[in-house]
Amino acid sequence: MNIPYGKQSIDRTDLEAVERVLTSDFMTQGPEIARFEEAFNQRMGAPYSIAVSNGTAALHLAVLALGLKPNQRVITSPITFAASANCVAYAGGVAEFCDIDPATYLIDLQKLEEMLKVKPHGYYAGIIPVDFGGLSVNLERVRALADQYGCWVLEDACHAPGATFTDSKGNQITAGDCTYSDAAIFSFHPVKHIACGEGGMITTSSKEVNQSLQVLRTHGITKDSNLMTENHGGWYYEMIELGYNYRLTDMQAALGLTQLAKLDWSLEQRNRIARKYDELFKKLGWPHQLTPGGCFHAYHLYVIQHPKRKELYDYLREHGVFAQVHYIPVHLLPYYQDLGWKKGDCPNAERYYDQCLSLPMYPTLTDEEFNYVSNLLISFDKQ
């Protein structure tokens, strides 16, 4: 047996899509990008989607387009991939960490309010809530705090395409639809739901942010006569700000389209597997991520907690099951410790890290594989 914690699902339709692009005229900057963006708008419900080269590039461009300036502070969760915080440093800003809720593993909104209210209005420029594991943060509540304290909201929805929560009006809010956020970002790394090899997407409801992102992803260059100061003819372009080459290729966009078409199947399978895990851990009495009422979980990860996490990790590994730890708290990574963060700053996140383990969770996990993993967990429990 060799069972990873996550893996991509690629079928014939994916292969054919990539082959079609490879034998067409455009490998990049072709028609697949706009098609993928349009399909993404349709599925996620955001007015604008901007495809970029990876999720980290999406974060970097999003904070720039939202206006992050050097030395401004942005709050995020310590239980996330480092990129959620690193993007702030790319723009010269300062990432700060707000502790998590020990039951949902998401940023604790009570603690977030406490952080915000002891500082003057505008002290923090933005908030980057993370839909950890595939569970949506309650962005309606984040938005209310952000408006009160003068912050923008950038949802890191890398784990949560298709996840929803229910707002106070009873509406189902889809991750990345930008009802309550200024922008959201996704990753198409193969461990995520939509696998493009590398790839990312920014969604926004703001026309201005969209326009800024279009320019930033391709060197700060525009051919839009409304944005240019002069126009010398058909060849003419202007570089109006310092941008990057963060473009997605057409091969990746074509793959993104066929992968997106399978998202609902993937979510269904992941939820089916999660129900089986739920049942097992009810019997074993092991804690796992709590899903609040009204939420549809996207299950990028299925995370449990165990006091003998290291022994459990090693035991599974010896038997060919490659569970993983998500994540080492970002504030304790040496780079952030050098900036002054230390043990004790986010005690819930640190306690969580001591016990957390992500179990195999991917749509093609077979019943046989699930039973194999489940039997290992039962025998570990008996030891």
Ligand X SMILES: *Cc1c(COP(=O)(O)O)cnc(C)c1O
Strand pairing class (172-174; 152-156) = unpaired
Tell the residue number behind the tokens 């046989």, with chain if given: 368
Nearer to ligand X, 115 or 184 (CB): 184
Using alpha carbons, list the distances in angstroms from residue 95 to 82, 83, 335.
11, 11, 12
Nearer to ligand X, 54 or 164 (CB): 54
Nearer to ligand X, 197 or 287 (CB): 197
Nearer to ligand X, 149 or 186 (CB): 186
CA distance 190 to 17: 17
User: Nearest approach, Cβ of 84 to ligand X (angstroms)?
Assistant: 5
CA distance 194 to 14: 11
Q: Which of 61, 22, 105 is nearest to 327 (CA)?
A: 105
**Which residues are paired to 185 by β-bridges?**
156, 202
Q: Which of 8, 25, 58, 27 is nearest to 254 (CA)?
A: 27
Nearer to ligand X, 183 or 376 (CB): 183
User: Nearest approach, Cβ of 262 to ligand X (angstroms)?
Assistant: 19
Nearer to ligand X, 181 or 222 (CB): 181
User: Nearest approach, Cβ of 254 to ligand X (angstroms)?
Assistant: 18
Nearer to ligand X, 99 or 156 (CB): 156
Nearer to ligand X, 106 or 377 (CB): 106
User: Nearest approach, Cβ of 253 to ligand X (angstroms)?
Assistant: 15
CA distance 346 to 80: 13
Structure tokens at 76: 């995020």
Nearer to ligand X, 55 or 243 (CB): 55
User: Nearest approach, Cβ of 268 to ligand X (angstroms)?
Assistant: 21
CA distance 44 to 47: 9
User: Nearest approach, Cβ of 211 to ligand X (angstroms)?
Assistant: 23
Nearer to ligand X, 156 or 182 (CB): 156
**Which residues are paired to 107 by β-bridges?**
100
User: Nearest approach, Cβ of 157 to ligand X (angstroms)?
Assistant: 8
User: Nearest approach, Cβ of 196 to ligand X (angstroms)?
Assistant: 9
Using alpha carbons, list the distances in angstroms from residue 78 to 93, 145, 341.
17, 19, 11
CA distance 188 to 196: 5
Q: Is 295 exposed, middle or buried (0-12, 13-18, 19+ CB in 10 A)?
A: buried
Tally of residues, the chain? 383
- Long-range contact list for 14-17, CB < 8 A, 24+ apart? 14/255, 14/258, 14/259, 17/254, 17/255, 17/257, 17/258
The answer for 233, left when phi > 0, alpha when psi is -120 to 50, beta otherwise, is: left
Residue number of the CB atom closest to ligand X: 55
User: Nearest approach, Cβ of 213 to ligand X (angstroms)?
Assistant: 16
Tell the residue number behind the tokens 């230390």, with chain if given: 342
User: Nearest approach, Cβ of 300 to ligand X (angstroms)?
Assistant: 7
Residue numbers at the binding site for ligand X (CB under 6 A): 54-56, 80-81, 83-84, 130, 156, 158-159, 187, 189, 200
